[in-house]
Amino acid sequence: MARTGRRPGGGSGTQEAILDAARAAFSESGYDGATIRGIAGKAGVDPALVHHYYGTKEQLFVAAMELPFDPSSVLPAILEPGLDGIGERIVRLMVTIWDSAGDYNPFAALLRSAMTQEKAATMFREFATRAIFANVVKAIDADRPELRTGMVASQMAGLIMTRYLLKLPAMVQATPDELVAGIGPTLQRYLTAPLDLPSG
């Protein structure tokens, strides 16, 4: 008797079914609410097959949303050398990733959606908090690590907005070295220097 309710393993059709199910689950339930088991159920496959093809939920999200980078792969290059020079490393890595993506960058579409759609904003915020910000917070040896990380995120969001989305001429024409030299020290101060914030 033929089995029902499960797709056979292997083949691009099965992988695309998993990615389609993942996109739907992340959009409907957010990053935190979506589960590998639930995604596997939508795709009609065993959860082990999802892990086989895509590893962790984080890696599945990266594949489904076609992000230009996998945090688990790029963060060690930023964090492991220590805090000295971390601001410049962050800027250089992000500019390198976005520049290499060229005109085809689905991540840009995701960011645009996050600015106007609450579900997209929640999905991206939850992913960024779990996969990126939490790891940076752990590495910071200073007060207010969450605020410091948020300040870095605000600066990088501004860079992405002005260079890649709005495409302001001066930002588009700036070389990677100029951006690293101009923005890196600001990120370094956010992460390692006294913030001198007003009390209360």
pLDDT tens digit sequence for 115-172 = 888 988 899 899 999 999 999 999 998 999 999 999 999 999 999 999 998 999 999 9
Hey, CA dihedral for 114, 119, 122, 126, is it positive or negative? negative
If asked whether residues 84 and 182 sit together in one domain, one would say yes
Which tokens is 167 given? 């495409």
Residue 4 inside a domain? The answer is no
Long-range CB pairs of 142-147, under 8 A, 24+ apart, other chains included: 142/191, 142/192, 143/195, 144/195, 144/197, 147/195
Q: How far is CA 14 from CA 41, 77, 138, 157, in A?
A: 12, 33, 37, 35
Hey, CA dihedral for 60, 65, 66, 72, is it positive or negative? negative
If asked whether residues 84 and 169 sit together in one domain, one would say yes
Residue 200 inside a domain? The answer is no
Among the candidates 35, 64, 93, a domain finishes at 64
Chain centroid to CA 189: how far? 23
Q: pTM of the entire structure? A: 0.82
If asked whether residues 79 and 58 sit together in one domain, one would say no
CA–CA separation, 42 and 63 (whole Å): 17
| Cα within 13 Å of Cα(92), Cβ side | 12
How many structural domains compose the chain? Answer: 2
* Closest among 78, 73, 10 to 45, alpha carbons compared: 10
If asked whether residues 185 and 132 sit together in one domain, one would say yes
If asked whether residues 19 and 103 sit together in one domain, one would say no
User: The CATH number of the domain where 94 resides is what?
Assistant: 1.10.357.10
If asked whether residues 145 and 130 sit together in one domain, one would say yes
Going residue by residue through the chain, which has 200 residues, state the pLDDT in tens, using 9 for 90 and above.
333 344 444 556 899 999 999 999 999 999 999 999 999 999 999 999 999 999 999 999 999 988 888 898 999 999 999 999 999 999 999 999 899 887 777 777 778 888 888 988 899 899 999 999 999 999 998 999 999 999 999 999 999 999 998 999 999 999 999 999 999 999 999 999 999 889 76
* Closest among 101, 85, 113 to 26, alpha carbons compared: 113
If asked whether residues 78 and 129 sit together in one domain, one would say yes
For residue 54, the enclosing domain spans: 12-64
CA dihedral (125, 127, 132, 135) in degrees, to 10, reads 110
Contact status, residue 126 vs residue 31, Cβ threshold 8 Å:
yes
If asked whether residues 143 and 60 sit together in one domain, one would say no
